[in-house]
Structure 1
Amino acid sequence: MATTTTTTEEPLTLISATPSPFARMNRIALALKAIPFNLQNEIPWESTTETPRHNPLEKLPILIFPASDGRSPVYDSAHIQEYIVRKFPDRGPKLVTGDVDLDLEIRQIVVLSEGCLDAIVLSRWEGRREEGKQSRLWIDRQNRKIDGAMRAFDFMVSQRRKEGKEYLVGEELSIADIAVVCTVGFVDFGALRPRWKDEYVGLKEWFEKLDGRKEFSETRPVMFDLKESVV
């Protein structure tokens, strides 16, 4: 377990898996807001995981509070982001605009990002089945979702660039930008669309600029070694 911030505050704990783009969104938000936290890495599908102790859905990431706090763990990446922006509005960048319509747009982009990532996970697990048991129809369906999301990301970026805007919504970095960078970064990390940078040049340029920032570059995914059978 590695402490990411030195402070007198009692740190939170974020349980993550090293390649997780879902947890990466939360790590970036916590770092941007200078909220002290410890990072605890696990493989949630293996028998030694502590994940079920904190989340009945047995999924990561999970945000855990100090024992002295008494609050229950918070889980699901999008909900953790919501918790961070609502409970720490005066720490660092707001990451939302405060305008109802713009913030609903921000959260829609987060939903799209997480849906794309869910499709990647579903496709990968299907691909881990024995070849004769895999469903091509299921994999094709997930691939359509991934491609649809990438086209949508590229369109959003191109529209904003035409308006001379740096960020997807509003005038400042938001959880929408974080979500898209983490999603596109995971597509790139997994080499899921090897030619995406040629196909979506505007998205590539936008992505690389944000992904080069300290809080983003320090949280890039790292693959783990899954030793136990899951499917």
Structure 2
Amino acid sequence: MKLIGSLSSPYVRKVRIVMAEKKLDYQFVPENPWAADSAVSASNPLGKVPCLIMEGGEAVFDSRVIVEYLDTLSPVGKLIPSTGRERAEVKTWEALADGVMDAGVLARLESGGYDGRTESQRSQVWIDRQLSKIDDGIKAMARGLGDKPFCSGVHISLSDVAVGCALGWLEFRFPQIGWRDEHPNLGRLIDKLALRPSFADSKPA
């Protein structure tokens, strides 16, 4: 398998961590989807990463679809429950974390991360709206985690992978958001996850 992606993308990192936790072999193909000469659209018509190229050449895209598929490939390190409320809980955590990342990406692009917009075209109201979503999302994460060792119980799951990627990316791109001071339980979780090789080897760069 080949994984097309950017080392700075939190969505790509989520897939890389799942690959590592599942002990799956793959080739990483670095690609900047924002570059003028990006070839990612040849595999994903939406022009986004991550994109997983299967052994037969078929493409699978969207990080949620990819990680769900990867979790079925090996019984090692099961990250998503098969059925029931437990599965819904893990997928909801993933949706929350992805929503925080979505808002962060939109805020960054609007505030200057995308060169295709001039200063006069940028909207501070839009940026503030996205930052508010981030703040609300982090508060929901902290409430949901409480004093549990992991987001969805006593073992690591996709919930923790997704939350770890979201908060790790915020520290990378938005260090001014001091979520650790207000939510020390999230800080303890992230520090614990950072000790795992899958997280340590995939820090955004």
Q: Which residue identity lines up with residue 27 of structure 1 in the other structure? A: R
Show the counterpart of 1:14. Answer: 3
Q: Which one of the candidate residues 169, 172, 179 is aligned to 1:186?
A: 169
Show the counterpart of 1:113. Answer: 97
Per-residue CA deviation, residues 88-122 of structure 1 (Å, 9 max, x unaligned), is: 142x1111233411111100111111111111111
In structure 2, the CA distance between the partners of 1:100 and 1:193, relative to structure 1 (3 Å rule), is farther
Taking the TM superposition and a 5 Å limit, the aligned residue runs for 1:47-66 are 47-66=36-55
Q: Which has the larger radius of gyration?
A: 1
Q: Which residue identity lines up with residue 58 of structure 1 in the other structure? A: G
State whether structure 2 residue 105 is matched by structure 1 residue 156: no
Which TM-score applies when normalising by structure 1?
A: 0.83
More helix by share: 2
Q: Show structure 1 runs of 5+ residues with no match.
A: 1-11, 223-231
Alpha carbon RMSD of aligned pairs, Å?
A: 1.4
Residues paired across the two proteins, number: 201
Kindly indicate whether the alpha-carbon contact (under 8 Å) linking 2:164 and 2:193 is maintained by their aligned counterparts in 1. Answer: yes
Q: Which residue identity lines up with residue 201 of structure 2 in the other structure? A: E
Identity %: 33
In structure 2, the CA distance between the partners of 1:171 and 1:97, relative to structure 1 (3 Å rule), is farther
For residues 177 and 132 of structure 2, the distance between their equivalents in structure 1, rounded to whole angstroms, comes to 16
Show the counterpart of 2:61. Answer: 75
SS at match of 1:40: strand
Show the counterpart of 2:28. Answer: 39
SS at match of 1:19: coil
For residues 12 and 121 of structure 2, the distance between their equivalents in structure 1, rounded to whole angstroms, comes to 31
Per-residue CA deviation, residues 155-177 of structure 1 (Å, 9 max, x unaligned), is: 1221xx1xxx3221143211111
Which TM-score applies when normalising by structure 2?
A: 0.93
Q: Which residue identity lines up with residue 107 of structure 1 in the other structure? A: K
Per-residue CA deviation, residues 139-163 of structure 1 (Å, 9 max, x unaligned), is: 11101111111111111221xx1xx
Kindly indicate whether the alpha-carbon contact (under 8 Å) linking 1:169 and 1:176 is maintained by their aligned counterparts in 2. Answer: yes
State whether structure 2 residue 192 is matched by structure 1 residue 209: yes
